[in-house]
Amino acid sequence: MEVEPDYLPPGTRAELRETAVLDDWRKAEAGNAARLARVAGRIGALDDRLHRGPEGWRHRLAMMEAADLSWFVGDRIGPDRLALWISMRLSGVQDDTAALARVGWAVRRLTGGPGPEVDLSAFLDRRDPENMADEAEPFADRAGGWLDLMEQAADLHPITRACMGFHLWSLAGLGQHGDRMEAAVTAARIAASEGPNSNGGAIFAPLALRGAGGLRASGPPAERLERWLEGMETACLTAMRHLDDIAAWSARAETMMAPLSGKTPPALRAVLTEWPVVSAPMAETLTGASRAAVQRNLAWMETRGLIREVTGQGRYRMWCATD
């Protein structure tokens, strides 16, 4: 893990340090104004796309983002393991259940609920232990300090505020194991918290799709914001292209499956739209169909090239929609 440099200027008065920090981020925003406007437009376009699409799209993107963030923080939870954990709470013998819990938390926070600036403690599911040492600083105080700084930066664009909040996370004393996942998810929600995307649609701004280089902690605020915007733009474009692909797949699957009777075909198609990868037991649980009906329809779809098996195994097989 990279050591976060302390760019706070020397001094004993917190007010002066905070003022200097905020001024640095205001200058960084001014220097990246053109790209910031372009990235904000990308998020607005993603928001509109999600508004017009099925509910499952938001869940699908949240799963993808959470899985990519897990690689960024070192947990390395793939889409297949994440899908089994989220849908059925299944984990392998060698799986790190704490890591699965972290990425599961990320999916929940990226799919809905109150934002981090409403109640950060509730958002993070973190509370001070009852037997906390007297000399320890309460989490509520540390969270309050971070929130106060974010409130002072209300004049900054939400994307800039998200970047600033992410990079000041550890300096505010909010760090613990898994803190980078928490910081990234918090920032993703803040970046999409205002404007046309605040009433649904894009609940979060993607940060890690196609790589998490924008989250790298090095350099002064101007460099960090420039990297952040570049990474966010790439992630937004990746998300848009993926939604275009899954929309085309859904239309093709609906046409090809039209002759099939019963409730299972459309239900299975909806599950494959909402989840990046699906197993037969998952599909059985999510659709309410019988195991035989699920397996019969999966085999039918695989034979016709609508889905492909991704594990290469004879057991514990999983499928995804084809491009």
Contact between 229 and 222 under an 8 Å Cβ cutoff? The reply is no
Between the ranges 13-27, 56-70, 137-151, where is the mean pLDDT highest? 56-70
Mean pLDDT within 211-231 = 95
pLDDT score of 197: 44
Q: Which fold has domain 257-321?
A: Arc Repressor Mutant, subunit A (1.10.10)
Buried residues in 48-71 as b, exposed as e (16+ CB within 10 A):
ebbeebeebbbbbbbbbbbbbbbe
pLDDT in tens, 12-33: 445 667 889 999 999 999 999 9
Residues 6+ apart with CB under 8 A from 271: 278, 282, 283, 286, 287
Sign (positive/negative) of CA torsion 244, 159, 209, 197? negative
What CA–CA distance (Å, rounded) separates 315 from 317?
5
At residue 266, does pLDDT exceed 90? yes
Rg of the chain over Cα atoms, rounded to whole angstroms, equals 21
Whole-angstrom Cα distance, residue 69 to residue 178? 11
* Helical spans, DSSP H, in the chain: 14-31, 33-52, 56-72, 79-88, 97-111, 120-124, 139-152, 158-167, 179-191, 221-256, 264-274, 280-287, 291-303
**Residue ranges per structural domain of the chain:** 14-210+219-227, 257-321
pTM here is 0.89
Instruction: Return the HEC string of 106-173.
Output: HHHHHHCCCCCCCCHHHHHCCCCCCCCCCCCCCHHHHHHHHHHHHHHCCCCCHHHHHHHHHHCCCCCC
- State the distance between the two ends of the chain, measured CA to CA, in whole angstroms: 35
Residues 34-45 have a mean pLDDT of 97
At what angle are helices 14-31 and 33-52 packed, to 10 degrees? Answer: 80
Q: What is the pLDDT of residues 249-263, one digit of tens each?
A: 999 999 999 999 999
Long-range pairs for 211-214: beta carbons < 8 A, 24 or more residues apart: 211/68, 212/68, 212/69, 212/71, 212/72, 212/184
Higher per-residue confidence, 200 vs 139 = 139
The 10s digit of each residue's pLDDT in 86-134 is 988 776 646 788 899 999 999 999 999 899 998 899 999 887 766 666 6
Residue-wise pLDDT for 148-187, tens only, equals: 999 999 999 999 999 999 999 988 778 764 489 999 999 9
